[in-house]
Structure 1
């Protein structure tokens, strides 16, 4: 049954693609793993609408949400090869492809969302974006994906001392494991779908994520203490296949770049709205939020993590420039 449904979905997608292609001189396929209605999906749809309008219908962008074309890593590879034209993925998924993106997974790299925007929208963002081209990709837009913070079922976390010995689920990522160790807690990598029951049964004490994920997963039901420490802010990225990009005229490239920049503004607005809704929902459900935390001791505790992962002169210079950005 599953195979049959998958085949049917593929056929329907193919038919939809063929129908769109017949109405446009060029139809670009764009992949997103997030569901329809998600801020990143809606932003790329808005970009598509603007591109179609400004090219008088010559260029269309078909957005395929919910991982219809594959998971992030697979769709990035397909975009590099020109099999699909555009992809929305996390900076973290590009880490093994574009080395310059690796530093954006460092804890407490950004002081705030505003600081992150200033970095991404300035010369550093342009420099990192340029690095994608040698990997057959063209960076179009940087999107928000919120900040990850700690939540648990035991007690409010107001200082590093409150983390000592606690067990937290983290993604299977060496940087995250080392971050927890530096804070005196125990990292427990596990699939996201197992977190709710693991907290409920006491296998782990908590996890870490952004407001919308904390809300939609239902984790707030079993972990009532949320500490807004914002230890990680990994942006999202929209990239185009360089093979596709090179087929476009300079005028059409300019149209797509401008539409992508406008979609960036929209996505950040939609994300902020979604965060606010999720925060209001979990607070109304009785979650205790610690928002006045002193982050400096947490930042200072990351020295061994930075010593381990920021080793080259180029990486050290980039981190210093990011931290110096106002």
Structure 2
């Protein structure tokens, strides 16, 4: 707690002054490494805003978790110490419940459907929901789709998960999903996962291809089943305490730069996926392309449970399904 308080105070002292001469500086913090496709998208935002404003608005980026975890940076955004950040919609759902809908298994039919929803009325409506908590969404970034990978047993159908311990995030929806498919959901720190798979504490896990490779989990996992059960996006956010001080023209510049960066980031992400899959294949990982409908049918109880617990979300879910 002392460390968090120190980081917050230091950030406030260093970043509260955001005007340098005639240039308005936006401080942007995130937790990802500079090689990540999302960081490359953020660089596009930085470049686009500088160009659109003719240098009147610039972005200073603090990557690699320099200013804290996703949750800590969100709190810095709320008090106005940082202007912009990128977080997972899963993290954001702790602040804005509507983001939970985006994590429901197979809520999106495919990648194009996901982009159509996020860039349409439903997606924009969810982005706006955070404004009451000083967290205004600008755009979504592609964070890929999560799939199962295992060390010793191939998963070709949901029944193959029976008896397997699968590491999941400490998130009830993820736990419910693996349980519904027949596996034994095992919440665990991501940093402990490599050793846990290696020692047989868990049989496997689930994540997107770039994470599967960058974590080196492909070294100890022989099978990767591309069932793509969930596609939780990242979100580029601006604090309303900063946003509300911008002129109408400055707001247009920021939004247009964010939109441009989102399009570029999707290409960076796909390039990263293609590269990661090639690395995994060359390392001897068997890439399995299962019948996804089998996994979707097994996970339907997750959606049913969610609607029972959150009936107020039914309209949003129906809008997504009907788009």
Per the TM superposition, whether the score is higher than 0.5 is: yes
Aligned in 2, Cα 1:24/1:72: closer, same or farther, shift over 3 Å? farther
| Whole-Å separation in 1 of the counterparts to 2:38 and 2:273 | 13
RMSD over aligned Cα, in angstroms?
2.1
1:54 CA displacement: 2.2
Out of 120-129 and 18-27, give the one that drifted further: 18-27
2:39 is equivalent to residue 34 of structure 1: no
CA contact (8 A) 1:24 1:60 kept: no
1:297 CA displacement: 2.3
Question: In the alignment, what sits opposite 1:322?
Answer: 320
Query: How many pairs align?
Result: 315
Question: In the alignment, what sits opposite 1:61?
Answer: 59
Q: Which of 287, 290, 295 is residue 298 of structure 1 equivalent to?
A: 295
TM norm structure 1: 0.91
Question: In the alignment, what sits opposite 1:209?
Answer: 207
Q: Which of 303, 306, 309 is residue 309 of structure 1 equivalent to?
A: 306
| Whole-Å separation in 2 of the counterparts to 1:265 and 1:313 | 33
| Whole-Å separation in 2 of the counterparts to 1:19 and 1:240 | 16
2:152 is equivalent to residue 140 of structure 1: no
| Whole-Å separation in 2 of the counterparts to 1:36 and 1:202 | 32
Question: In the alignment, what sits opposite 2:78?
Answer: 80
| Whole-Å separation in 2 of the counterparts to 1:188 and 1:224 | 20
Q: Which of 105, 108, 120 is residue 106 of structure 2 equivalent to?
A: 108
Q: 1:141-175 CA deviation, whole Å, 9 max, x = no partner?
A: 11001111000012221111111111111111111
Q: 1:223-260 CA deviation, whole Å, 9 max, x = no partner?
A: 11000000111000011111111111111111111110
CA contact (8 A) 2:223 2:287 kept: yes
Q: 1:173-193 CA deviation, whole Å, 9 max, x = no partner?
A: 111111111111101111112
Map 1:1-326 → 2, pairs under 5 A: 14=14, 22=20, 24-291=22-289, 293-311=290-308, 312-325=310-323
Structure 1 unaligned residues grouped into runs of 5+: none
| Helix, strand or coil at the partner of 2:20 | helix
CA contact (8 A) 2:48 2:260 kept: no
Structure 2 unaligned residues grouped into runs of 5+: none
| Whole-Å separation in 1 of the counterparts to 2:55 and 2:293 | 52
Q: 1:58-82 CA deviation, whole Å, 9 max, x = no partner?
A: 2111111001111101111111221
Aligned in 2, Cα 1:319/1:19: closer, same or farther, shift over 3 Å? closer
TM norm structure 2: 0.92
Aligned in 2, Cα 1:179/1:249: closer, same or farther, shift over 3 Å? same
Out of 243-252 and 37-46, give the one that drifted further: 37-46
CA contact (8 A) 2:48 2:261 kept: no
| Whole-Å separation in 2 of the counterparts to 1:23 and 1:191 | 45
Q: 1:75-102 CA deviation, whole Å, 9 max, x = no partner?
A: 1111122111111000011112111101
| Whole-Å separation in 2 of the counterparts to 1:79 and 1:296 | 40
